[in-house]
Structure 1
């Protein structure tokens, strides 16, 4: 089986990546292949896994991901830095088991007449203004819904609902639900301006379109990436037909992962 190692530049991560590489080279069942891998091992944290996802997002139908965290507990990482031997054993006895998560499809049309961009996000996309209130028309399935005024909007996947979306007051969604969420960032609500004021959940057969009043000086993000500085005509968000797959050797149940990440492990004796 062909394996790629994608590591951040931290000292511990580099040490773990080197140990992985040496063990894969000495394995009779595994080989290093960074160009056409079947498994991508991310070594670092969730940020490293996001980078690995975007590096290989043109081959998602052929790849399964595995995450090793070398610092604090990562939401997408199931293995610790001291479990390299156990992971190698799981890789050598792989039977193609996997779990997959929804992704966010983003189509960006530009006001300068140039070619549109088609992007994929694992966590979320945000849309804001540089130095003033953002005003944008919001359409659901091509029907006008509201004119939003505020700092911006966050559109997230179910797994991304635990990231920036949660920080701005969005709900946590189990990734078994193939849906996206739109959450507001500091909306303006008074006698003159009115928005929904709460997160919105969009099913897979619907989509969200944003058409900003001002095409210039907007900030669009796709996960941790900043989209090029171009005048934006419109943005369309929908659940993607593509999904990300993780090798399910020891994949943690979603709600257990949420509990461990935000509440901490609770002993049975605790009230």
Structure 2
């Protein structure tokens, strides 16, 4: 993108969106949204903010109320605070008690969560044979990423086992989400009968993939690297895998629509992301 094309597109009426997290420099969200903005020829920009602490994040939200930005995608560690600061919330955000999307209109803040849509879209794209209705899903981790994902999976008819080293955290998440979510300690028993295993941890899980049914689908929310050691080991076993980039792009579409009041253009951003990641696909 040249500086001349930017100067011709950005005006005083520019619409601004952003990704917020700590750290956030690694995020591909600006790459995705700005590629769509450029493809659509919009007078808009999507940037990144990394508040130093919760007080700084609250200041940023106040700036949104004041009209400085139209919407924020929110990542760790601010998702639960984002939910708490909103005036209104979607049902999806209420179920998970966290938000990855804040939009600002007329001084008010609305919280939503598109992470679950991203996960379901990634599964539909890369594991189309998987049926979630009546399926057992093992969710590895009980953090913010697991919350919205578990809620979406239950909504699709699955039973979700939240598998966490600290059982109390898994129990707290299960209690918050209610029916369809169970708390499990780590161990082989938690994976028995699972049609889908989702890694929502920031580290690679220690799992004996040889014990899994050959039809099991394995997903990793991480996209750096695109093919994580977990996914590479699953592919070596012949298992179907789903990568975190598909989920990221899947949640970005509804976020873009909410922030900029129009759907993203018909432009495939995955090749753009792969180029930035230095991945072949």
- Please, what TM-score do these two structures have when normalized by structure 1? 0.28
Structure of greater Rg = 1
Structure with the larger RCO, 1 or 2 (CA within 8 Å, 6+ apart):
1
Q: Which structure carries more helix by proportion?
A: 2
Q: Which structure carries more strand by proportion?
A: 1
- Please, what TM-score do these two structures have when normalized by structure 2? 0.27
